[in-house]
Amino acid sequence: MTFEEYKECAMQTRKEYGDPEKEIVYYALGLAGETGEVVEHIKKHYRDGREIDKEAIKKELGDVLWYIAGFSHVLGFDMSEIAEANVKKLKARHGDSYSGFGNREGEGK
């Protein structure tokens, strides 16, 4: 599944508020909340010595991805645009030590 296929599926479950600013606030708060749920699993691992529940974290990361899809929808981004921009940022930050995914679109070391 591509990012755009995921986004198309995910956005079938979104609630429309009729106001992009309200949607941005909704997605921001939801993203923070779901990220907190991921962190909560890790906290309990360190606090209580519990094993990390990878399946539970996978589900929470899916919820994080849903909110990212919503943000990208409201702001008019393709999710692949977000991923590509992040790779460029990583390359700029890490220079020659970052190999990324090889030489894509004429880019490389």
Residue 47 is assigned to a structural domain of this protein: yes
Residue 28 is assigned to a structural domain of this protein: yes
Task: Please give the biggest Cα pair distance in the chain.
Answer: 49
Q: How confident is the model at residue 47, as a pLDDT? A: 95
- The DSSP result for 13-51, as a single string, is GPPP-S-HHHHHHHHHHHHHHHHHHHHHHHHHHHHH-PP
Rounded to two decimals, the pTM is 0.83
Residue 82 is assigned to a structural domain of this protein: no
Q: How far apart are CA 104 and CA 42, in angstroms?
A: 35
pLDDT tens string 31-54: 999 999 999 999 999 999 989 999
Residue 83 is assigned to a structural domain of this protein: no
Angle at 5 between CA 29 and CA 84, to 5 degrees: 70
- The answer to whether residues 14 and 6 touch, using CB atoms and an 8 Å cutoff, is no
Q: How confident is the model at residue 102, as a pLDDT? A: 57
Q: How confident is the model at residue 16, as a pLDDT? A: 86
pLDDT tens string 5-37: 999 999 999 988 889 999 999 999 999 999 999
Q: What rounded mean pLDDT belongs to the chain? A: 89
Q: Domain range for residue 49? A: 3-77
Structure tokens, 63: 């919820």
Residue 97 is assigned to a structural domain of this protein: no
Find where tokens 């997605």 sit: 27
Q: How confident is the model at residue 101, as a pLDDT? A: 63
Residue 11 is assigned to a structural domain of this protein: yes
Contacts of residue 99, defined as CB under 8 A and 6 or more positions apart, other chains included, come to: 109
